[in-house]
Structure 1
Amino acid sequence: MNAFVMTKEELLLLTEKIVSGTATDEELIQYNRLFNAFRAPTEWDETVLGNRQMLGDTIRERIQAVIDRPAARVVPFRWRRWAIAASMAILLSGGYYYYRTLQHPVLAPQAERFKNDVAAPAGNHAVLTLSNGTKILLDSTGNGPLAMQGNVNISMNANGQVVYNGADNTSTTNTIEVPPGSQPVAIVLADDTKVWIDAASALTYPTAFSGNERTVTITGQAYFEVAANSRKPFKVKNGIDQSTIEVLGTSFNVKAFGPDKKTATTLFSGAIAISTTNARQLLHPGEQAVVNNERTIQITTGADIREVLAWKEGLFYFNGKDIPTIMTELQRYYNIEVEYQTNVNDEFIARIPRDVPVSQLLNLLEMTNLVHFRIEGRKVIVIR
C-alpha cells in the first residue's frame, strides 16, 4: 500500500482513541496522513487489513461501543453521543464503504460529492495599509524591510511576523486586513505587544505609542500578548460593538465578527476590564465575557481554553457546536460559500488541523450520519 500502512488492530486502536477524545496531536496528524493515503488510488491489501467491508463494520462497532460505554465520571450526554464526529473515517472515504440507514436516502459516494475539494489556504494574503494609503501585499514580500513610517521601521522577520521598531513623538495609523481564505498573521507592535490576527479580521493601530495610552481597534478575531507598561494602559476597541478592553499586561482572545450576534473576550492571564455604554466588568483568568446586542456583559467561568485558542494553534476544534456555527468558521477560513438544503439542529465535536482540505473536516461530521455535504466549486451544500 505504501509507508502509511497500519495493521488492522492498530487502525482500530487509533479509531477508539479519536472517538474517545484521547488521541494526541501526533495521532491526529497520523490520521490525516492515512486519510490522504486511503483517498489516493490504491489496491486494498487484505493480508494486512482483511476484508474491506468487514473492517468497516468492525470500526462502526468499536465507535458505538465507545459512545455507549458508561462514563467513569459525569460527562454531558452530548459528548458521548456526538464524539463520533471526531472518529476515524479513513475506510469510509473515497467510496470504499458508505453507511446507510432507512431514515436517509441513498447518497452519491463521498468521492463523487467531494471531488471538487477546496484546499486549505497556502499562505497569508494579508494587506498592510500605510498611513498614506499605500497597500503592501504581505504574501508577495520576503523577509526584511517593508516601509518606514516617520522614525518607525516596518519589517518582516524570519518567523513571518510584521515588526515595528523605533520611537516617534508623532504617530500615524496603519491597518492590517486578513481576508477570508488566509492563514493568520502575527504582528509585533512598537511597544513589543504581540498580536495574532485570524482570517476575515483586521487590526488598526498606531505606528508608535506617543500619548498616555496605547489604543488599537479590532474587527474579527485576534489574540493579544500585551507588553506591560503601567504608565500607558493598553486599550482594545471592538470595531463591531464599540466595547473597550482595558489592560496593563496580559494575554487574551477577542472574537468579534460582524455577522455574530455577540462578541466574546477570553482572558488567559492577567486582568482586564470590559466596558460598554451600559456596563463594565472585570475579567479574571479562565473567564469569558460576552457582549450582546443590548451592550450588556455576561461573564462565564471555566472557558474552554483549548477551543478558544485552537485557531492560533492551527486547529479547528468544535466542542458541542451546531452546523451553522461550524460552517461559519469554515466560510471564513476557506473562503467558501455555504448553502443549506436541510436544517441540522444537532451538536458536534470535531478536532482537526487547519492545514487540510475542507473535505477532511466534512468527512468527520458525516461520520455521525446526521448530516452530509456536497462540494460544488467553492460552495459547500449541507444536505441530509
Structure 2
Amino acid sequence: MKETEFLELLQKYQNGTLSDEDRDKLDAWYLHKASNTNSQLNEYELEDSYQYLKSTLPLQQETKVIGLWSRIAVAASIVVLLGAGIFYVTAPTEQPVEVVAKPKEIAPGGNRGILTLSNGKQIVLSDISAKDTIAKEGQENEVTIKMSADGVITYVVNPNAVEEKNGEDAFNTLSTPIGGQYNIVLADGTKVFLNAVSSIKYPTQFNGDQRIVELEGEAYFEVAKNKNQPFIVKSADQAIKVLGTHFNVHAYDNEPIIKTTLLEGSVAVTYQNQKTILKPGQQSNVTANSNKITVREVDTEAAIAWKNGRFKFDNADLKSVMKQLERWYGIKVEYRGDVSDVRFNGGTFRNKNLSEVLKVLELSNIKFKVEGKTIIVYP
C-alpha cells in the first residue's frame, strides 16, 4: 500500500466513511510493517509521532479514533515519520495487536443435480451447458432426454417407437446434493420440483396401468391428469395416489415426520393399514412410531415456499428451520442450551447469503455464532 493511500484511509476513518474492506487493508498493512522490523518507538517517540500526525491530518473528533488507535497508531506513526525522512517502526510488545478476520460469507445453493441413467451412467447437470438432447434411453432410443434453455430436464417419447414387449421399464434417478435443487418434466408431462438433498426414481416412460415414482427427501408435484393411469408417489412406508393434482411431499430420512400438503385436487394417503383423503389446504403427518395419519389445516404457501425461492415459516420450530438451512447452505448446526420452545413466523429469500438469513432469525431473540461452516445456536 502506498503512503498516500494509507493517509486517505485514515481520513476516511475520521470522516466515518471507512468501509469494512478498507479497515481490513489498514490492519493488514500495519501487521505487515510491524512484522518486518526490529525497531520500536518508545513512548515519547510514539507520542511525538502522534502529535505530528494530528498536526498533519487534523482529528477534530478525537473520540472517533480512540477505539482504532490501539490497532493503528503505530502504523500511522510509520507513515508520517517516513514522510518526514525518519524511519521508526514499532509493535508494542505489551499490547499485541490482534486482527479479527471477517467471517467468510456462506453463499446460498442453486440449480445443481445428478441424473443417473438406466445403464448407471451419471450426468452432472451443473457441469453441462443448456442444450437440446443430453441422452437417449431404450433399446431403440425411443426416449429422448432434453434440457431446456432454463435448465429443466424433459423426457420425450417417440410416438413411432415400438413399445418394448418384455414389460420391463427403464428407470432413471434425479438427485440433488446439499445446496442443490432441480426441476424435471416426466414422460407423462408431470412436473417435479426437487428440493435439496433429495432424489426421485422414475421410469423413462410409463407403461402399464399405474405411474409409480419413488421419492426420498422433498418434492413438489404437478401431476398430469390421466384417469386411466393413477400416479403414485412412494416414500418410506407411505404411498400417495392421485389422478392429477398439485401437492408437496416432505419425506427426509433424518426427520421423524412425513408431511404431504395438498394445494389442489385430492390425494389418497396410505400409511401401513391406514388411509385418508386430503382436501386442498390440508396436510397429513405420519411418523414411524405411530400407525395413525393425522390431518391438519396449514399455510400451503409455507409448505412450498422453497419451490418459489423463499424461506417462509409458519410457527415453525427452530430445529426444523435450521435443518432447512443445513441442506441449503451446507452448514453444520450445534445447539448450546434448550431451544425447544422457540418458534418462527415470517421468512426471507433463499438467494441471500446465510448471514442475512440469520439476521432475520435473530429477531426472535436467538443468537448465532459462525465458526467456519458451523453455526452455534444460543437461546
What amino acid maps onto 1:181 in structure 2? G
* Secondary structure of residue in 2 paired with 1:367: helix
Distance 1:351 1:216, change over 3 A: same
The answer to which of 292-301 and 324-333 deviates more is: 292-301
Offset, 1:306: 1.3
Residues 151-162 of structure 1 correspond to what in structure 2 (within 5 A)?
Answer: 151-162=142-153
Aligned counterpart in structure 2 of residue 281 of structure 1, from 263, 271, 276? 276
Runs of at least 5 residues in structure 2 that lack an aligned partner in the other structure: 1-16, 23-99
Cα distance between partner residues in 2 of 1:149 and 1:367: 51
The secondary structure found in structure 2 opposite 1:215 is strand
Q: Distance in 2 between matches of 1:253 and 1:113?
A: 42
Q: Let me know the Cα RMSD of the aligned residues.
A: 2.0
Task: Give CA-to-partner distance per residue, 1:235-292, whole Å, 9 cap, x none.
Answer: 0001x3x211000011100000111111110111111101122201111111111112
1:222 aligns with 2:219: yes
- Corresponding residue for residue 135 of structure 1: 122
1:211 aligns with 2:208: yes
Structure with more relative contact order (C-alpha pairs < 8 Å, separation 6 or more): 1
What's the offset of the Cα at 1:116?
A: 2.8
The equivalent position to 2:231 in structure 1, one of 231, 234, 246, is 234
Aligned partner of 1:148 in structure 2 is 136
Residue 146 of structure 1 aligns to which amino acid in structure 2?
I
Counterpart of 1:177 in structure 2 is: 175
CA contact (8 A) 2:103 2:372 kept: no
**CA–CA distance in structure 1, aligned partners of residues 134 and 21 of structure 2:** 47
Find the aligned partners of 2:196 and 2:176 in 1 and give their Cα distance.
5
Q: Deviation string for 1:116-143 (max 9, x for gaps)? A: 321112x322110001100000011122
Q: Could you say which residue in structure 1 is the equivalent of 2:36?
A: none
User: For 2:303, what is the secondary structure of its paired residue?
Assistant: helix
SS in 1 for 2:302: helix
Q: Is the 8 A contact 1:263 1:290 kept in 2?
A: yes
Letter of the 2:123 partner, please give it. Answer: I
- Report deviation, 1:113: 9.3
Supply the distance in 1 between the matched residues of 2:178 and 2:346 (Cα, whole angstroms). 21
Q: Would you say 1:193 and 2:184 are equivalent positions? A: no
Report percent identity of matched pairs. 37
Alignment match, 1:248: 243
- Select which of 100, 104, 116 maps to 1:116: 104
Contact map agreement 1:232 1:248 (CA 8 A) in 2:
yes
In structure 2, the residue matched to 1:315 is 310
The TM-score with structure 1 as length reference comes to 0.68
Give the corresponding residue for 2:349.
353
Structure-1 separation of matches of 2:197 and 2:101 = 27
Residue of structure 2 equivalent to 1:381: 376
Per-residue deviation at 1:304? 0.3
For structure 1, the residue ranges without an aligned partner over 5 or more in a row are 1-37, 44-111
Q: Describe the shift of the 1:282–1:113 C-alpha distance in structure 2 as closer, same or farther (beyond 3 A).
A: farther
Contact kept in structure 1, 2:107 and 2:354, CA below 8 Å: yes
1:372 aligned partner: 367
TM-superposed deviation, 1:41: 4.2
Contact 2:262/2:300, CA 8 A, preserved across alignment: no
